């Protein structure tokens, strides 16, 4: 049994060993096969990579050759261009050398001719001195005098022609600009007076306004500073005062008293105070309305009130606030036409007469008062310059000041804008003629066109054409310095020469 077991064990051992060796050999064969396959695949991939590398190298080589060919073509073009330029430059150099030779020949010829001319001039001068019996310096002096006289006459004629042409062009352009500005800002004018008429509801109201022993009318006059004129005019009472603000307060108070029906001194004082407060508010509203209409912004509140006070101020019968608004609009339109600062021009025009709001309360001309007000409220320098310049108290420093002054003259010179008494009108015409006849050489002078033109007739023997120009300018300057007038005055000097002959 033991031997059989040993035999079985040995047989099983050898059998298992044989099977294991067979598996090992089979595994070794499979591994060898796999290694062979891997080697073959690696060889294949290596060959493919080599082929791809060769293709890429061939492609890069071709691109490099193409770029080289293109560069060679560009270089050849550049070489041909440089060669052409060199040929052109050589040609130009040859031409320049040829011109230089020609110039040298011309210069030599010119020098030769100049020497010949100098010799001829010397010979002619010697001959002329012998013929004329005058030395060279004296002949030269006489010749220069003659040429100078002829040149002076020629220059004077040309200057006159240019002045005439320039004046016509400037007047035409100015008329176009002014007409456009006036057309855009045209406004109606209403002359105002120093008397306000208040209608009465009945004749019995006159007695109530006068009061017992005249106490009511005396109180009204004392409180308002206005004279009440009660005459035979039916159903009306007149308020007279040089101050339109006082007249307006008296009118408002009187209307309130008549509406209330209670008229006595205490009531009169209350109504006058109430009218004063209402007028202050109305003044502010008038100032704001004027500033808005003129297109001027950023005014100080006190300036707005002062503008409103101009509503009750007149100059030659023309309402000053309406005049100021019109000047502002005209100045703005003119500035827009010539390319100046239109908002600044409107501001200058609106504030140029601001001092007239206080002329009844502050001593001094309205220009000084207006200048102080403008400085107090920090107005721009152009506004300060306008206030003084529009009355000739300072030279113009800003174009907007000139435009505002021109607009002021236009507004004041409009037909119907202002009115003058007959005495003042006649006095101005007489003064205008006296100024013109005060100059030597003036024979007669006539003021025409309602004083807008002065025609001066001069004696032709005492005045030539050149001095006639100077005379017109001198008369214009003297009129500007000695007279005050709206708009402009045209000075026309007439010089007439009459030659009479008789045939016998």
Least confident of 175-179, 304-308, 416-420, 479-483: 416-420
The mean pLDDT of 472-498, rounded to a whole number, is 82
The mean pLDDT of 305-322, rounded to a whole number, is 80
Amino acid 188: pLDDT: 45
Buried b (16+ CB within 10 A) or exposed e, 39-63: eeeeeeeeeeeeeeeeeeeeeeeee
Better-scored residue on pLDDT, 124 or 78: 78
The mean pLDDT of 62-82, rounded to a whole number, is 89
Better-scored residue on pLDDT, 166 or 270: 270
Least confident of 83-97, 103-117, 260-274, 447-461: 447-461
pLDDT surpassing 50 at residue 258: yes
Reduced to 3 states (helix: H, G, I; strand: E, B; else coil), residue 23 is helix
Does residue 272 contact residue 322 with C-beta atoms inside 8 Å? no
Structure tokens given for 483 = 């007279």
pLDDT surpassing 50 at residue 446: yes
Taken in order of first residue, the domains within the chain and their CATH numbers are 195-413 (3.30.1370.10), 422-495 (3.30.70.1350)
The mean pLDDT of 248-273, rounded to a whole number, is 84
Amino acid 347: pLDDT: 92
Looking at the chain, the number of H-run helices and the number of E-run strands are 14, 8
Least confident of 67-76, 223-232, 284-293, 450-459: 223-232
Amino acid 139: pLDDT: 65
Rounded Cα–Cα distance for residues 320 and 356 (Å): 8
Class of residue 331 by CB neighbours under 10 A (exposed 0-12, middle 13-18, buried 19+): buried
Q: Residues with Cβ < 8 Å from 322, sequence gap 6 or more?
A: 187, 189
Distances (CA, A) of 16 to 25, 81, 110, 301: 14, 96, 137, 126
Structure tokens given for 156 = 């004077």
195-199 and 236-240 strand pairing: antiparallel
pLDDT surpassing 50 at residue 421: no
The mean pLDDT of 373-397, rounded to a whole number, is 88
Residue 335's nearest CA partner among 409, 383, 403, 412 is 403
The backbone torsions φ and ψ at residue 256, rounded to the nearest 5 degrees and listed phi first, read -65, -40
Confidence of residue 486 (pLDDT cuts 50, 70, 90): low
Confidence of residue 385 (pLDDT cuts 50, 70, 90): very high
Max mean pLDDT range (189-198, 226-235, 262-271, 425-434): 262-271
User: Over pLDDT 90: what percentage of the chain?
Assistant: 1
DSSP 339: T
Q: Per residue in 15-43, pLDDT tens?
A: 777 777 777 888 878 888 888 888 888 88
Q: Is the pTM of this model over 0.75?
A: no
Size (the chain), residues: 504
The mean pLDDT of 48-60, rounded to a whole number, is 86
pLDDT surpassing 80 at residue 107: yes
What's the chain's average pLDDT? Answer: 79
Structure tokens given for 132 = 């004329």
Rounded Cα–Cα distance for residues 426 and 480 (Å): 18
Question: What is the DSSP code string of 203-236?
Answer: THHHHHHH-GGGHHHHHHHHHH--EEE--S-TTE
pLDDT surpassing 70 at residue 397: yes
Amino acid 422: pLDDT: 45
Amino acid 181: pLDDT: 56
Distances (CA, A) of 333 to 150, 294, 411: 47, 11, 13
pLDDT surpassing 80 at residue 117: yes
The mean pLDDT of 275-302, rounded to a whole number, is 87
Residue 194, number of CB atoms within 10 A of its CB: 13
SS3 content of the chain, % helix, strand, coil (to 5): 75, 5, 20
Does residue 337 contact residue 177 with C-beta atoms inside 8 Å? yes
Better-scored residue on pLDDT, 136 or 266: 266
DSSP 398: S
Does residue 326 contact residue 411 with C-beta atoms inside 8 Å? yes
Q: Residues with Cβ < 8 Å from 227, sequence gap 6 or more?
A: 221, 239, 240, 241
The mean pLDDT of 431-442, rounded to a whole number, is 87
Q: Residues with Cβ < 8 Å from 224, sequence gap 6 or more?
A: 246, 249, 250, 253, 272
Least confident of 91-105, 192-206, 258-272, 418-432: 418-432
Structure tokens given for 201 = 């509801």
């Amino acid at each position: 049994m033991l031997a059989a077991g040993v035999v079985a064990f040995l047989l099983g051992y050898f059998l298992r060993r044989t099977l294991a060796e067979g598996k090992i050999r089979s595994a070794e064969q499979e591994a060898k096969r796999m290694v062979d396959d891997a080697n073959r695949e690696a060889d294949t991939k290596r060959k493919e990579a080599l082929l791809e590398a060769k293709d890429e190298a061939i492609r890069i080589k071709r691109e490099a050759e193409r770029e080289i060919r293109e560069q060679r073509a560009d270089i050849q073009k550049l070489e041909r261009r440089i060669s052409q330029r060199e040929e052109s430059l050589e040609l130009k150099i040859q031409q320049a050398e040829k011109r230089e030779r020609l110039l040298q020949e011309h210069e030599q010829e010119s020098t030769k001719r100049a020497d010949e001319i100098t010799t001829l001039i010397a010979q002619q001068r010697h001959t002329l001195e012998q013929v004329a019996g005058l030395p060279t310096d004296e002949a030269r002096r006489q010749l220069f005098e003659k040429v100078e006289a002829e040149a002076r006459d020629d220059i004077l004629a040309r200057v006159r022609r240019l002045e005439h042409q320039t004046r016509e062009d400037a007047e035409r352009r100015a008329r176009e600009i002014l007409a456009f500005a006036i057309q855009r800002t045209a406004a109606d004018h209403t002359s105002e007076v120093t008397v306000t008429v208040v209608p009465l509801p009945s004749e019995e109201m006159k007695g109530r306004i006068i009061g017992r022993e005249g106490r009511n009318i005396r109180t009204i006059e004392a409180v308002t500073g206005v004279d009440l004129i009660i005459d035979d005019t039916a159903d009306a009472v007149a308020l007279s005062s040089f101050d339109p603000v006082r007249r307006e307060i008296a009118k408002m108070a009187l209307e309130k008293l008549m509406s209330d029906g209670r008229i006595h001194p205490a009531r009169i004082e209350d109504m006058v105070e109430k009218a004063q407060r209402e007028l202050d508010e109305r003044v502010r509203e008038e100032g704001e309305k004027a500033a808005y209409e003129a297109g001027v912004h950023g005014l100080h509140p006190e300036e707005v009130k002062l503008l409103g006070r101009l509503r009750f101020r007149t100059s030659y019968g023309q309402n000053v606030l309406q005049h100021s608004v019109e000047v502002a609009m005209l100045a703005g339109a003119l500035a827009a036409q010539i390319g100046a600062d239109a908002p600044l021009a409107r501001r200058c025009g609106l504030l140029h007469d601001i001092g007239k709001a206080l002329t009844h309360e502050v001593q001094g001309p309205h220009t000084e008062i207006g200048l102080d007000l403008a400085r107090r409220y920090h107005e721009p320098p152009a506004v300060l310059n306008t206030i003084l310049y529009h009355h000739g108290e300072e030279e113009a420093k800003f174009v907007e000041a000139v435009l505002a002054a021109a607009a002021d003259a236009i507004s004041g010179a409009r037909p119907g804008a202002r009115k003058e008494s007959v005495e003042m009108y006649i006095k101005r015409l007489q003064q205008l003629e006296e100024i013109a006849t005060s100059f030597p050489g003036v024979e007669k002078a006539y003021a025409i066109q309602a004083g807008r033109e002065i025609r001066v007739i001069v004696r032709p023997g005492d005045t030539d054409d050149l001095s006639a120009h100077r005379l017109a300018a001198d008369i214009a300057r003297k009129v500007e310095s000695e007279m005050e007038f709206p708009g402009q005055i045209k000075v026309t000097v007439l010089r007439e020469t009459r030659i009479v002959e008789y045939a016998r």
